[in-house]
Amino acid sequence: MNISVIPTIQEARVEELRRKTVIVIDVLRATSTMLAALASGCRAVIPVETVEQAKELQLPGHLLGGERGCRRIPGFDLGNSPLEYTPSVVGGSVLVMTTTNGTRAIRKAEQAGRILAGSLLNARACAGKALALGREIVILCSGTRDIFSLEDGLGAGAIVDELLSAYTGSGRQGDHLQVNDFGLAMLHAFRAANGNLEGALLACENGRRLVSLGFREDVAYCSRLNAIEAAPEIADGRLQLFPTLTSL
């Protein structure tokens, strides 16, 4: 089975995503925040690219969330901080969300066979679900305005690490996992940083920017490896927690 990690949205070729499982990663902070929302009981997240699209899709009972320049959009209910998405705020609701990079990455992945939302928070759950789906796996790092972002690379490396562990643990014979060179680099990087993921995230460009804007606690939250046991999937434009593997 082939596993490819792609460093930025720009470098993803739509034809390379078809019929595969694509795991979209935006550790700081879009996919981490979507995960936090779903873990808090939000029923579905509808990712959209523009503020206008978000407003058009806001039905009664829907919340608007997202950011531009890391900050809450005027008129929106919520920003892009995972700490805002508590059960009392988002439980039972549908969330319409737009962010600068993460929602763009999800749109780019629309041609994929299956689309999962991944981050450090759910690396193990993502790996397990992707393996169970049995397709080739592409891990798409959102990056920041077409530049590679370290935190997404570490998230990708964490998922590759979990894929290798799960695959070895399953005792499968014959076929083996073939990881592309960029994925191997991210695997090495994750293993080196794993002792202090929070430190690694604080040292990278987006981490430093978030700290300067007062979001240091968000960086700490997003660095919590495998804190959430769920691999949400996008179907019909909605990100949801579908039945877990064991019940499939």
Q: Which is nearer to a copy of itself, 8 or 31 (CB)?
A: 8
Strands (E), the chain: 2-6, 21-25, 44-47, 62-68, 71-72, 94-98, 114-118, 137-141, 178-179, 233-235, 238-240
CB of 115 to a copy of itself, least distance (A): 24
Which residues bind to a copy of itself, rule: CB under 8 A? 7, 147-150, 153-154, 180-182, 184-186, 188-193, 200, 203-205
- The least distance separating a copy of itself from the CB of residue 178, rounded to whole angstroms, comes to 9
Q: Minimum distance from CB of 180 to a copy of itself (Å)?
A: 7
Computed over its alpha carbons, how large is the radius of gyration of the chain? 17
**CA distance linking residue 74 with residue 71, whole number of Å:** 9
Residue 93 Cβ, how far from a copy of itself at the closest point, in Å?
34
* Nearest CB to a copy of itself, comparing residues 111 and 180: 180
Amino acid 20 reads: K
Phi, psi of 112 (to 5 degrees): -70, 160
Query: Which residue, 49 or 205, has its beta carbon nearer to a copy of itself?
Result: 205
Measured from the CB of residue 84, what is the shortest distance to a copy of itself in angstroms?
26
Q: What is residue 5's three-state secondary structure?
A: strand
Report the distance separating Cα 22 and Cα 106, nearest Å.
9
- 34 or 193: CB nearest a copy of itself: 193
Nearer to a copy of itself, 137 or 156 (CB): 156
> How buried is residue 243: exposed, middle or buried, by Cβ count under 10 Å (0-12/13-18/19+)?
exposed
In the chain the first and final C-alpha atoms are separated, in Å, by: 21
CB of 185 to a copy of itself, least distance (A): 5
- Kindly tell me which of 180 and 244 has the beta carbon lying closer to a copy of itself: 180
Task: Give the integer Cα–Cα distance in Å for 204 and 184.
Answer: 20
